[in-house]
C-alpha cells in the first residue's frame, strides 16, 4: 500500500514485502503496512457464542452490535456487564470478551446455536453456517417510515465515510461503515477487516451511546438512525443487520445482490448502490428520497 504522511493508527502492523515491476524486476524486501487480524471469542455467561476474525479495536461495540443483530440483546438495558479479558489499556490482547446479562435476564443462546452449525464466523461472512435464510429474515421487522433524506446527502455519504478510514489509508485492506443522521452528520464510523464486523461496531455504538433499541423494545420517541453507508457491496448480511437496527436507508459504494434487494423491499428499506461521483442507483423504496 502507498505510504501515508500520517502515523499509522492502532490496528495496523508491519510485514515484509517484495514489489515487482517489469522495469526493475523483484525489489529487495521492505516493510509494508497491513491490517491486523486476530480472533475474538465472544462469550455470554462463560459460554462461547461466536468466534470471529476481526481487526482489534472497539471490541465492546463489535460484541454489542453482534448480539443485537442476532436478536439476543434488544437494548443497552439488557447488558449487565461486558468485560474485555486482556491487559488494561491493551484492547485485543486477550481476544476474549465476556458478556453478562442484566440481573434477572437470561439471554436466549439457542437463537444462535439453533441457526448456526458451530462454524467459525470469519471476517468475510456474517451469515456463514446458517441453516436457513428464514432464520435471519425472521428477525427483520419492517422499519418505520423514518425521516426523508435529501438525495444530495446520500450521494455524498461515501465521501463522508472516506474521511473516517485511517486504516484503509495505510493498508488498503479494510472495510468501513458509518451511521449518518438526516443532515449527513456522522453518528458512528468504524473500520474492520470484515464488512459485517464494521457494521456490528457501528450498531453497537448506536446501542451503547445513542440508545438504539430493537423493534421489540422500542418506545415512542426512541432514537432511530437514518442512513447506513458501507464501503463494500450491499450483501444480504449487511441488509439483515440494517433491518434489525431499523435503518430506513442503506447506501453502498458497490453492487447489491438479489437477496439483499429482496430483503430491502420486504423490510421497507431504501437501498442505494454504486453511490459514486454524485450518482447512485435506487433499488427499493425511492419515496424516502427528496430530489431537487
Classify 27 in phi/psi space as left (phi over 0), alpha (psi -120 to 50) or beta: beta
CA 265 to chain centre: 20
Cell 428520497 sits on residue: 289
CA dihedral sign of residues 72, 74, 80, 85:
positive
Question: Which helix (DSSP H) or strand (DSSP E) does residue 26 occupy?
Answer: strand 25-26
Cell 465472544 sits on residue: 42
**What amino acid positions are annotated as catalytic residues?**
125
Using CB atoms within 10 Å of the CB of residue 38, give its burial: 0 to 12 exposed, 13 to 18 middle, 19+ buried.
middle
154 contacts 272 by C-beta, under 8 angstroms? yes
Amino acid at each position: 500500500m502507498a505510504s501515508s504522511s500520517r502515523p499509522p493508527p492502532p490496528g495496523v502492523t508491519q510485514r515484509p514485502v517484495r514489489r515487482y515491476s517489469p522495469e526493475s524486476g523483484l525489489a529487495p524486501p521492505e516493510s509494508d503496512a497491513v491490517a491486523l487480524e486476530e480472533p475474538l471469542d465472544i462469550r455470554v455467561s462463560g459460554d462461547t457464542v461466536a468466534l470471529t476474525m476481526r481487526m482489534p479495536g472497539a471490541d465492546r461495540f463489535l460484541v454489542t452490535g453482534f448480539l443485537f443483530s442476532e436478536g439476543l440483546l434488544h437494548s443497552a438495558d439488557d447488558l449487565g456487564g461486558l468485560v474485555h479479558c486482556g491487559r488494561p489499556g491493551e484492547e485485543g490482547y486477550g481476544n476474549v470478551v465476556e458478556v453478562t446479562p442484566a440481573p434477572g435476564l437470561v439471554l436466549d443462546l439457542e437463537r444462535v446455536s439453533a441457526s448456526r452449525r458451530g462454524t467459525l464466523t470469519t471476517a468475510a461472512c456474517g451469515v456463514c453456517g446458517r441453516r436457513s435464510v428464514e432464520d435471519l429474515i425472521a428477525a427483520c421487522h419492517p422499519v418505520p417510515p423514518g425521516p426523508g433524506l435529501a438525495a444530495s446527502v446520500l450521494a455524498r455519504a461515501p465521501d463522508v465515510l472516506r474521511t473516517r478510514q485511517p486504516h484503509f489509508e495505510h493498508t488498503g485492506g479494510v472495510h468501513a461503515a458509518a451511521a449518518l443522521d438526516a443532515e449527513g452528520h456522522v453518528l458512528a464510523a468504524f473500520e474492520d477487516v470484515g464488512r459485517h464486523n464494521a457494521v456490528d461496531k457501528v450498531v453497537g455504538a448506536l446501542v451503547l451511546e445513542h440508545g438504539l433499541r430493537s423493534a421489540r423494545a422500542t418506545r415512542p420517541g426512541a432514537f432511530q438512525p437514518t442512513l447506513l453507508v458501507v464501503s463494500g457491496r450491499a450483501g444480504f448480511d449487511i441488509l439483515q443487520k440494517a433491518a434489525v437496527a431499523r435503518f430506513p436507508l442503506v447506501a453502498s459504494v458497490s453492487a447489491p445482490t438479489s437477496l439483499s434487494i429482496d430483503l430491502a423491499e420486504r423490510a421497507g428499506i431504501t437501498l442505494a448502490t454504486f453511490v459514486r461521483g454524485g450518482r447512485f442507483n435506487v433499488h427499493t423504496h425511492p419515496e424516502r428520497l427528496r430530489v431537487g
